[in-house]
Amino acid sequence: MSVASLRRAARESVSGLPREFWWLWTSTLVNRLGAFVATFMTLYLTVDRGYSASFAGLVVALHGLGGVVSSLGAGVMTDRLGRRPTMLAAQASTAFSVALLGFMEHPAAIAAVALLVGLTSNASRPAVQAMMADIVRPEDRVRAFALNYWAINLGFAVSATVAGFVAEYSYLAGFLGEAALTLLCAVLVYVKLPESRPERTAAERTAAEPEIGLGTVLRDGRFMGVVGLSFLISLIFMQGSFGLPLAMGTGGFSTGDYGLVIAVNGVLIVLLQIPVTRFIEKGDPQQLLVVSALLAGYGFGLTAFAGSVWSLGLTVVVWTLAEIINSPTQMGLVARLSPLHGRGRYQGMYTMSWAVAALVAPLMAGAMIDRWGAGWLWASMAVLGTVAALGYWLLMRNLAESEPAPGSVVTASAAPAPDPAPTPLPSPAPAAAEA
């Protein structure tokens, strides 16, 4: 491919997105550049502070529990208070709590503040995703979510490398560094991002359109199906952080071997996310999600037959391709199924599926490897991938008929045209999706 072709491809990948999106993208990148606590919490507690592995596991679980709780609360705040106030409150409180955690000495205080960090650090995600759906045209959302996901992984790759050297010098410096970058993220939001929450029109107020609550989300059968499938997919992908290192450790591999293998994931996402998205953004979401679920499940399933570092790296290639396809496609689907005035609550419920998976995945991996061996864990991942693929195929059979095509023409305006409210899937069940 010529240099001119590469330049044209790059322009096409980033063109047509509003300025507000790029400030939101920049805030995401800055936020992930400061990721320290989630990456080094276990090493900090066991190596630097000398606590047991069980105490470190408890603290990490409390951190994850905070994310579960805050997902729904932040979703409600996003709809009631607005996207911008929710992000500002979440990022400012995250900066404070992360800095505070670095100074905690007593085990109970460390556990309590770790819970607080989990609560605050996860609270901005529904607002970020809702704002992205507000400001980006429907036909550009898959590309926008892909670019944002690319920023997350690029920021994490850089921060993990730099933070490793910082941790050798001072863990406290790592905590304070994350706090400073998170505070900078809040400043960017305050200075550069206007509120994007759609206001109800006079006709909607006159018609006394009912408010969308969490009960509305729970009764939306199709969307809750997507949330359930997101949980299954998350459970699979998170074995790269929990099941894979455990299995490699029991198999006689070193921590350096695991570092080399898992690095394949980050490198491929940084290199391939944007070019692959150019091919998938106009594709059929049903087919893409089915294929990604099968690649994820069987990519991890193949780990049972990998006996060397290079063969383990090949399995990572398979499930990383699944991640590259699944993440922007699924986030675009969530945005399409979220009613205009309920995007915060819908995004909060979706975010919670990942947070719950982060709690279940390490428990599942540890229990299965201890009792039955790693082979059973990888076989179960293949089964979960098959179930998720079947679920996506069944759930989205009528999506093309009830939703506008990704490439449909949208008239120019200050904000993208609102998506139609999701229509329920034909089902004998009494619960139906609500407008």
Q: Is the pLDDT assigned to residue 421 strictly greater than 70?
A: no
- What does the pLDDT average to over 47-52? 80
Query: Which class does domain 18-196 fall in?
Result: mainly alpha
Confidence of residue 48 (pLDDT cuts 50, 70, 90): confident
pLDDT of 431: 32
Model pLDDT for residues 341-354, shown as the tens digit of each residue: 777 888 888 888 88
pLDDT of 435: 26
pLDDT of 429: 34
pLDDT of 255: 65
pLDDT of 295: 96
Q: Is the pLDDT assigned to residue 427 strictly greater than 50?
A: no
User: Regarding predicted confidence, which is higher, 200 or 88?
Assistant: 88
What b/e sequence results for 260-290 when a residue is b if at least 16 CB atoms lie within 10 Å of its CB, and e otherwise? bbbebbbebbeeebbebbeebbeebbbebbb
* 85 CB-side CA count, 13 A: 9
In sequence order, the 6+-apart residues with CB closer than 8 A to the CB of 18 are: 135, 136
CATH architecture group of domain 213-403+419-435: Up-down Bundle (1.20)
Q: Is the pLDDT assigned to residue 118 strictly greater than 90?
A: no
Confidence of residue 92 (pLDDT cuts 50, 70, 90): very high
Q: Is the pLDDT assigned to residue 411 strictly greater than 80?
A: no
CA nearest neighbour of 278 among 2, 16, 4: 16
pLDDT of 388: 95
CA nearest neighbour of 374 among 364, 383, 384: 364
- One fold for both 18-196 and 213-403+419-435? yes
pTM summary value:
0.72
Model pLDDT for residues 179-200, shown as the tens digit of each residue: 999 999 888 888 888 888 877 6
Distance CA 97, CA 235 (A): 28
Q: Is the pLDDT assigned to residue 269 strictly greater than 80?
A: yes
Percent pLDDT > 70 in the chain is 83
Model pLDDT for residues 324-339, shown as the tens digit of each residue: 999 888 888 888 888 8
Confidence of residue 315 (pLDDT cuts 50, 70, 90): very high
pLDDT of 122: 82
Distance CA 57, CA 242 (A): 12
Domain boundaries, the chain: 18-196, 213-403+419-435
User: Regarding predicted confidence, which is higher, 67 or 12?
Assistant: 67
User: Regarding predicted confidence, which is higher, 221 or 100?
Assistant: 100
CB 84 within 8 A of CB 195: yes
φ and ψ at 362, to 5 degrees? -65, -35
pLDDT of 96: 94
CA nearest neighbour of 142 among 133, 131, 154, 151: 133
**Interhelix angle 221-237/374-395, nearest 10 degrees:** 150
Model pLDDT for residues 364-380, shown as the tens digit of each residue: 887 888 888 889 999 99
CB 147 within 8 A of CB 270: no
